[in-house]
Amino acid sequence: MDKIGRRNLKTFSAGAALNDIGEEMYAPYLPYFAATFLGVSGFQYGLIEGICEGINRIMRLFTGSFTDRVGRKIPVILAYILIPLSRLGLTLVKGWAGFIPFRGLRQIGRSLRDPAREASIGESVPQTERGRAFGILNMVDTIGAVLGPVIGVLILYWATVGLKGTTPAIGSPLEIWGGLKTVFPKESYIYLFIWAALPTIISAWIIYFFLFETRMPFAKPAKTQAKPQKKQEDFSLRTFISTLKPNSPFRKLGYTTLSHMILALGAVPVSMILFYASNKLSAAPIENGILFITYAISHFLTSYPAGWLSDRLGRFYTQVMGNILFILALILIIFVRSPLFLIVPLILYATFESIWITNRRAAIADLSKTEAFGKTFGNFSALYGFPSIICPILFGAIWSLLGSGFALFVSALFPLTAIFILPQKN
């Protein structure tokens, strides 16, 4: 890896770590806040997640091409401005539908950041080191998930102490703390949402000052220039079906995408698992925090090994291993009867996510045309992301109609099916 590759990886890593601290300061406690103070049901929470994920994926149809035109730096800076605004907006939410515009704003930020960041790393790092580079990025992308929940609890506690005498039912500091079953008033969460915006604002400045631009802004051809030759079709939403044909030059990319689309139908987000803990297992905020920290530490510890394994074992066998771990995690959750026993399936889930995120990025970079990195990453992300819209809605609907155990079992069928679609040499 050359000097530019190391510099950009460090810059993205610093920005990602700070953003993740801000995100995870409130994320583990948001399901409890939604369920307890706003009366959000499992189906409604799944609908929120699905709609907002849909905003993310639809936007990626445009943000990939956008970063190819304007460069990698501008989209990431814009993202790190929109994401903290989404957290500040949570202070205004009064009902379940109120989550949608602000959680959607967060997803717009992610849709701007991810294709630009992934394309920049793909351009900065040699193919033989991409798995490890994306592994490092994913590792630091989760480091804040270890610190964030702890900082979040401290803010909730001190905000509650500060509210003593102004909010009913808040006693002395010693009475506020009740161990794992400690609960906090709604007003304390407002302070938490405000403080969670600060780290990502700092991330925007880090990208502005330190990121080396690997893609110059697109220049329109002069009018006097000769008519350009018809160029080869790129991989996109419009051409996806044709990539599955035997003679397509993008056939491996097409089937890799199809496999991830099927996997995404069952990839229940961690927020839904935490909502399951709050709603089904009566987990208190501190217990959800412990579960999330366990997930985050596992994700952090397995991210670089997942990238190393992807480079050594190959993209196919690494992904198969990840899918099997995910199936085991979903089946184990069915038999859990106490919140903290979710620790084991969450470790398996976090390991799967490390493999999935790292391996798919490296695989798409390997199969993409260099001049269309941003567009390919954006369109791939949109394609496999459309089923991500359906996943939490489908999971919530099956949960409401047939029970959570049946919903988890159905979800486990998708990663199993995805194994048989993935091309062995990709």
**What is the model's pLDDT at position 5?**
78
Give domain status of residue 35, yes or no. Answer: yes
Q: Which of 105-109, 222-226, 398-402 has the lowest mean pLDDT?
A: 222-226
Give domain status of residue 56, yes or no. Answer: yes
As given in the structure block, the two tokens for residue 220 are 């329109």
Residue 167 forms beta bridges with which residues? 164
**What is the CATH number for 128?**
1.20.1250.20
Terminal Cα-to-Cα distance of the chain (whole angstroms): 23
Q: What are 77-100's pLDDT values in tens digits?
A: 999 999 999 999 999 998 888 898
As given in the structure block, the two tokens for residue 294 are 């366990």
Domain span at residue 159? 3-216+238-421
| Nearest-angstrom CA–CA distance, 76 and 80 | 6
Model pTM?
A: 0.68
3-state helix, strand and coil shares in percent for the chain, rounded to the nearest 5 = 80, 0, 20
Q: What are 348-365's pLDDT values in tens digits?
A: 999 999 999 888 888 888
Q: Which of 351, 268, 275 is nearest to 307 (CA)?
A: 351
The number of domains in the chain is 1
Give domain status of residue 386, yes or no. Answer: yes
Average pLDDT over residues 289-303: 86
Give domain status of residue 342, yes or no. Answer: yes
Give domain status of residue 137, yes or no. Answer: yes
